[in-house]
Amino acid sequence: MDETLPWFRALPADQRSWVMLVAQAGVRSLVEWLRSGGTAAGTQEISDEVFAAAPRALARSITLTQTVQLIKVTIDVAESEVANLAAAGEEGALAEAILKFSREIAFSAARVYARAAESRGAWDSRLQALLVDALLRGDSSDVLASRAAALGWADAPPVAVVVGRSPGGDITAVLHSVYRAARRARVEVIGGVHGDRLVVVMGGAADPLATAGQLAASFGEGPIVVGPAVPSLDHATESARAALAGFRAAPAWPGAPNPVAADDLLPERALAGDSEARRALRHDAYGAVVRAGGGLLDTLDAFFAAGGVLESAARELFVHPNTVRYRLKRVAEVTGLSPLDGRDAFALRLALAIGRLDPAS
């Protein structure tokens, strides 16, 4: 091993000694198997005992590929000594026995690494669930950073939280579907199932809404809401709160696209009691109209009172219809919401009501 495997020479002394213990256990098991007549009965138990000689940490220090290389070197050496070990005329039988036993050793190694992977996967799932739970609770950035680091989270910006209904079934299978879709979308994700909700944190998605569409097949039926993009995981609580509030309010907009941005659900969120949505409508819509001046607020009132008819609003204001048209365009510029669009008009009317209910803010 020392001569043929450069990485083996670089191992610490304790890990090299573990490998030698495994190799010696393999030779002893082969001898025991031959003494029993080389029958299939008990072969798996004997081969499994080989890896019991090493601690579990060895599976984390040496990869499966490296283990296969170690087994190959051991088998090559044993085969090269067949002529010296076998009695006259039994060389072929011993070589065949070594090949059969080495197959069982290979299967045993695969079982060891499969169990380690399953255990690691279960631990990662629990750790991810704890991280998502901490995110939803709004725990400190230190807690989030330590748990994310344990999962190897690279924190590639931007970060956004997606909330939808879980498809049900085994949680591990649900999350595996999310990770598989994330690899295809080339984004990093952390996921967790909370009750009937599937919460996914995405990192490195240039267009979170489009990326959420690529992950949509991993969610169950119902709305999928995407929180606003934030610079890093430290700020992801804001995105998570918006996505959760949007998920609760989404049924109030049956015609919403799926996935839908949480910011597009501001009117429904405000009606459902979300204080952040009320603040956004009051400040970014009502406040923007008031600050802009120029009769925009009166024009909006007249336009809505006239049922969206420009000429009627113009007569009410004693101005030309083009003036009303210009002011409505100005409203769209300062708020990002067009009074001529039915959906935006609904948000603006609600913003006016909220703003007037709390003018001091």
Domains and their CATH numbers in the chain: 6-120 (1.10.1240), 141-255 (3.30.70.2730), 274-357 (1.10.10.2840)
Please give the pLDDT value at position 121: 53
Tokens of 67: 């283990």
Residue 183, C-beta contacts closer than 8 angstroms, at least 6 positions apart: none
- Contact by Cβ (8 Å): 188, 156: yes
Of residues 350, 355, 340, the one with CA closest to residue 288: 355
Q: Where are the alpha helices (DSSP H) in the chain?
A: 6-9, 13-35, 43-51, 57-61, 64-80, 82-85, 91-137, 141-150, 171-185, 208-215, 236-249, 266-271, 275-280, 287-292, 296-305, 310-317, 321-335, 342-357
Tokens of 251: 């049924």
Burial, 304: exposed, middle or buried (Cβ in 10 Å; 0-12, 13-18, 19+)? middle
CA 248 to chain centre: 21
Determine if residue 195 is left, alpha or beta; phi over 0 gives left, psi from -120 to 50 gives alpha, anything else beta: left
Of residues 70, 50, 53, the one with CA closest to residue 9: 70
Please give the pLDDT value at position 298: 95
Is beta strand 260-261 parallel, antiparallel or unpaired with respect to 159-165? Answer: unpaired
What are the residues facing 159 on neighbouring strands? Answer: 203, 230
- Contact by Cβ (8 Å): 238, 159: no
Global pTM reads 0.67
The span from the CA of 175 to the CA of 193, in Å, is: 8
Residue 195, C-beta contacts closer than 8 angstroms, at least 6 positions apart: 166
| 10-residue averages of pLDDT along the chain (361 residues) | 87 85 81 73 58 65 80 85 86 85 79 64 62 71 66 81 92 86 91 88 92 95 95 87 95 95 96 94 94 94 94 94 95 96 95 87 55
Please give the pLDDT value at position 334: 96
CA 217 to chain centre: 14
Please give the pLDDT value at position 314: 94
Residue with tokens 């420009």, as numbered in its chain: 310
- Contact by Cβ (8 Å): 58, 18: yes
Q: HSE (CB half, 13 Å, CA atoms) of 337?
A: 25
**Which of helix, strand or coil describes residue 202?**
strand
Please give the pLDDT value at position 31: 83
Of residues 203, 242, 211, the one with CA closest to residue 225: 242
Please give the pLDDT value at position 311: 94
Q: CB atoms < 10 A from the CB of 169, how many? A: 11
The span from the CA of 244 to the CA of 124, in Å, is: 24
**Which of helix, strand or coil describes residue 30?**
helix
**What does residue 273 show for φ and ψ, rounded to 5 degrees?**
100, 15
Residue 53, C-beta contacts closer than 8 angstroms, at least 6 positions apart: 18, 21, 22, 24, 25
Q: CB atoms < 10 A from the CB of 4, how many? A: 12
Helices 13-35 + 43-51 axis angle, to 10: 160
